[in-house]
Each structure stands twice: as structure tokens, then as C-alpha cells.
Structure 1
């Protein structure tokens, strides 16, 4: 029987690679729903190839355009309600949440309430509401299958292991587009320079987050919720080759690592097929050709956004929501040319300083904190 899948963010980097994995093994999967933003030309190609029963787009005008092109066989919705229905109201067994930013929270919660397994590529969901998501997933018996390469690596290293035996989690970081530059050399860098990631092919927002190390900070907070690890037992290590995707150190000082080429289709497919493994449309890792792997301790003065992420995680409550929302606004402003690259961390820091955290927030508190942070960061 085919596994039925909904993909939220189908026209983005993770979404397109998810569909590439599906196309590689079409007898194994059925696409039930696709949700996209405004890239209608690509979405129409996906509809033609995968014949989903439901699609959702950003707004009503785009929905009308898709309806005219796709015909009556595909139900077309739009906006937040459409995104939630794509996540929760189909026969999908697994929902891949690959939308960018905090908009992934409500559809992920809806999918969990509907009993869908979650292929989690939207780290902001756990960053902004980790306590709500993890509690609800546990109550519903819904697995959270990580798709981020680092969390997939940790997930694989922990298979069959007792969590009580774990000494620490080690997340690896490439260092991003400017890893060879000092802070002084970051003055005046351009958007085009920031988008040239040396290892990974990713969307614009996550590529900028990699350069500021915000992305790694979000991953630290996500790892805290996914694996129940205290922040003092989550370490970040610079590893420029991105071959070791992450590691687990056990209390006997054994270290288990997961290695592979920097290709997101491997962790995506593992989430789709877990606990089984299948051939992938990727190249095998050839360590002899690589020759050497390099590692370096994290420099928190060089990457202050990572230090801020640890601070937010330890503070808890609504503070991680503030960190995430302020960053999303700051990155968007940088991409539009409104602020300089180093101003991203300044916007985040100032927004955090102005916030008084709610320590046990409900969903309404989180939504309000997100709204406030976006308004503050925009100023």
C-alpha cells in the first residue's frame, strides 16, 4: 500500500527535494496535498505530475489562477485556512512541514490533532512552541520525524540507545557563507555574497540564517525539544565540510556520528520510510576522495546570534518566539536592502531587550508575542 503524503511548502527547497524523492520511487508514495505560496508556475507543474487531491496557495487571486489551470479534479484553497486543511483534512499518513517561518506552527498542530505523522523540516514550529507541540504529539501518539540533516543525524545515532546513557549532543555547523571572514570583514557585505553557501543548496532565508548562525541557534532549541536534552548538553562544533551531520557522545565517551554528502534528500527519505531504509537518488560518500575532515570550537563572539539563541532557550517561555520573529523580520529587511548584514543581530538583540517573557505561554500568548516582535523588529 502506498504511503500517502502531504507537503507543506512544496515549491521551496525542502518541498521540491521531497517531491524528487517521491518521483524516484513512485510506486511507494501518493501525494494527497500540496501547499505553496505564490510560485504558481512550479506548483502547476507539480500538480500535473503528482495529481494531488487538494492544493493550497497564498491568496484568493492565486487560487483562482490555479483553479483555471488545474481543472476540477483538484480542490484549491488559500490562506491560513487552506494551509491547515492541506495539513489535516486529507487521507495523508505523513505531513512534511517545509514552510518557512512561524506560519508552520498552526498547520503542524492541526496535523498532530488529526493523528498525522510529522516530517518536521520547519524548525520554527518547535522553537516558538516546543512545549505545546511536544506535549500534543505525545498525547496523540504522533511521531515527530526530523528532516533537518543535523536532527536526522541525532535521531539515527539514538536509535536503540537509552537517553540516560547520553552525555551530550554535538550539532555540526558549516559556518555559512562568511566562515573564513572576521567580523571586521563583514562590514558592507552584499546580499549576493551572503547567499553563496559553500556546501548546501537552500532557500534565501535559511542561507542568511546559516551565515549569521541563527539557523544553528534555532536547531539548538529544536534539539532541546526533540530529544529532551538540557541546553548544557547541546554543543555546536564548526565542521566546514558538512560531512558529519551531527554526533552523540555517550557517558562512556564513545561518540556516534552520522556521515553523508550534503544532500537533503537523504534525511528527507529517511523520514518518509522510517524505520526502513531505501535506495536514494544521491551520490555515495567517498571518504578517500575527501581525505581530511576539519573541526573547530564555536566562537560565540564571532557568532553572537548563537549565544542569543542559547540565552533565549534557557529563558524559555515566549523568548524563543521573540528571537525567531525578530530574525525573520531582520532577514527580510536585509534581503530588501533596508539594513546591513551586521544589523540583523542588532535588530534581534534590541527586540529581545524590550520583551518581558511570558513563562508558560498558551497558543494565544505565542501568537501575540510573535506579532509584537515583528512590529518591534520592523521599527
Structure 2
């Protein structure tokens, strides 16, 4: 029986993680859950899984939840301290970090320092502080297991091999809802249109990132730190069918691909059960049904966010933190209908050019730069 805590249990990855647990009750025990403010769903999860502790970011919502569950043995915490509590529960064996955004950084670091293995779905943690996080993981002897389908695919393709065997990794991207659009077509697209992903069921922020291709850019940065690879060995191809989740080319010119029906529960399950594989009842891949797999080069002119992510990674230092923070703020403004689709890459590029890059970074410095960036976005757009 493996005890798990889930940060972000009411989101897309969190609910699918609980579905994996639900199908394998003899293997997993939920000891901690956290939510932003969806206490209705969190209350249901408490009744079903009976965790010892939960956290809600909003203090008023936390107090309301506490009243609702009454004499329940589940302790309720709130705020970032509450999130850290869930990430560091003494009897937790594995922490699933599926919160969206920079908020996942501190709880993840604290969990690592408490020697908790991490099933990582919060890509912003590595985008903003990859070097620090991976050093802490090595120092504390813990594993960081990727949950994203692309990074899980690379992780699986690497099993049994070392860095010296690898020529490059190839991250696949569906192309999102606007694949094939030109700039004129994209000028007036809405958030509602951007949220209609053709293959994956994801949260709002990630869906918008997929539409701009920023999601793939963040994954490039994440892959650099997860797998200790040079940027020149990380490529992206558009693969509309989303069947090959990523590929690995070895020095002998062999390419190994991990394939499967687009269902996030599959990589989630592998992260939870690693190094074992267990049976499930998820849809099996039928190659005859798929019939063909196609690939395209990313259009960096029409979708500049991917190019901006590569540039931020090449410069390094604090620039990926700025990229991430600016993107988070701009995506939220786009969802609210306050800015247009192309305001996202245009503003990110402007802020990257204005930022004086710093290279001597610690967590406090990264948090300060994150705050600076968010304030910058608000000052120039609101």
C-alpha cells in the first residue's frame, strides 16, 4: 500500500489521479489532498477517500469546508502553509504535484527536503527553478517521476540507457485547436475557441498554453532539467493524432517511441506504480483504427511562444522565470477577455527584452523575480 498526497486534487490531473486510485484501492491510500477553492468537489473527495489532511488556498473557503465536514477526522489547513503541510505529511510516500503555476514550487521543494518522492505534473516548478530542484532531489536521494505524457514517454524510452547513448529527444505536440491557422485567422480568436482542445481534456491554463504552443515551450525547458540534456538535443514536432507521446533517438540512429491512446491516466498510473506496471481497463490502442500517423514542423512564425521559450532557455538564468510568470498572467487576462491572442507572445517578448537577466539564483530570488514580472504585466496592460 502506497500512501499518496495530491496537490491540486480538484483539477484535471488531480481528478484523474484519484480515478487511478479508485481503480486500485488495494495499492494506494490517499493521505492528503489540496484544492484552490473548489470545496464542493473537495468535500466529495474527503467523504470518499478519507484523507488525514486537506488544504484550501482561500482561508474563508477552508473555514466553510471545516464546518461542512463536521466531526470528520480530516484536518483542514489553508494557504501556502497548508499546501506545504499536505506536501510534507509524515506518512506520505509519494507527492503528486498537479497544481497549476508557480504556486507549486515551494511545496515541491519542501516535499523533496522531507525526502518525499515526487510525481511531477507542475511543469512550472522545473521551468522556474529546474537546476535548484534537481540538485535538491539528488541531495535528498528522491525520485522525480514525470506525469506529463511527453516526459513520461521520454522517461520510459530511456529506461535501461544513459545520457551517453542519446542523440536527441523528440517531443510531440498535437498542434492544439488552431493547428493550420494563419496569423490573420488567429488575430480575433477567443478563449472559448482556444479551450476546445482536439485531443486532450485539460484545465483552462494548459489548454490555452497548448493553443499558443507555449505548453510545448515549457515542456522543452522542463525536459532540459528532467533529463539533463543540452537544448540542442531537444526537438519538437507536430503530431496531430497524439498517439506517439514522444520519441528518443539513440546514437546508433535507432528511434524508440512510446505510444498509446491519449488518456492522461496512463502516464499518471505509471508514475504512481513505477517501477512496476499494472493492468487497467483503459482504452487500448488499435493501430488499424488509427491507420496513419503524421508529423509536421512547428510554425514558429505563427506561434512564436515556442520560439520565445527556446530563447529563454538558451539565455538561462532568470529569463525562464520571467517567461513563465508573464505567460501565467497573460493567459488569465486572455481567458477573461481583456487581451487578444497575440497580446500573449507580444507582451512576453517585450518583458523578456526589458528584464536584466540574473544568474545567481535561489528560491527567494526566483520568487522576487516572479512577483516583479507579474507586476510589470499589470502595470503595462491594466
* Shorter-chain TM band: over 0.9
Counterpart in the other structure of 1:124 = 124
Asked if 1:210 corresponds to 2:210, the answer is yes
Instruction: State how 1:63-212 maps to structure 2 within 5 Å.
Output: 63-72=62-71, 73-212=73-212
Q: Which string of whole-angstrom CA distances, capped at 9 and with x for unpartnered residues, describes residues 159-193 of structure 1?
A: 00121010000000001110021121101111111
1:41-68 superposed Cα distances (whole Å, 9 cap, x missing partner): 1000000000000000012211111111
Name stretches of at least 5 consecutive residues in structure 1 with no aligned partner.
Answer: none
Q: Secondary structure at the match of 1:276?
A: coil
CA distance in 2, matches of 1:282, 1:14: 16
Shift of 1:357: 1.0
- What's the TM-score once normalised by structure 2's chain length? 0.98
Q: How far, CA to CA, are the matches of 2:279 and 2:107 in structure 1?
A: 30
Check whether the contact 1:21–1:281 (CA below 8 A) recurs between aligned residues: no
> CA-to-partner distance for each residue in 1:17-64, whole Å, 9 max, x for gaps?
000000001111100000101111100000000000000001221111
Distance 2:254 2:69 in 1: 54
> Are residue 231 (structure 1) and residue 231 (structure 2) matched?
yes
- Measured against aligned partners, the alpha-carbon deviations of 1:203-229 in whole angstroms (never above 9, x if no partner) come to 010000001010000000000000000
Alpha-carbon distance, 1:89 to partner:
2.7
Q: CA deviation at 1:90?
A: 3.4
- Give SS of 2:36's match: coil
How many residue pairs end up in the alignment?
378
> Residue 31 of structure 2 contacts residue 52 of structure 2 at CA under 8 Å; is this kept in 1?
yes
Question: Contact between 1:265 and 1:280, CA under 8 Å: does it hold in 2?
Answer: no
TM-score calculated relative to the size of structure 1: 0.99
Shift, 1:251, TM fit: 0.8
C-alpha separation in 2, matches of 1:69 and 1:293: 50
The match for 1:62 is: 61
Q: What SS is found at the alignment partner of 1:86?
A: helix
Aligned to 2:266: 266
Distance in 2 (CA, whole Å) between partners of 1:179 and 1:320 is 25
| Separation (CA, whole Å) in 1 of partners of 2:228 and 2:306 | 20
Q: Structure 1 CA distance, aligned partners of 2:280 and 2:314? A: 38
Which ranges in structure 2 are unaligned for 5 or more consecutive residues?
none
1:114 & 1:181 partners in 2: Cα distance?
47
In structure 2, the partner of 1:249 is 249
Runs of 4+ in 1 over 3 A off after TM superposition: none
1:27 match: 26
Query: Which residues in structure 2 correspond to 1:307-318 (within 5 Å)?
Result: 307-318=307-318
Which residue does 2:341 correspond to in 1?
341
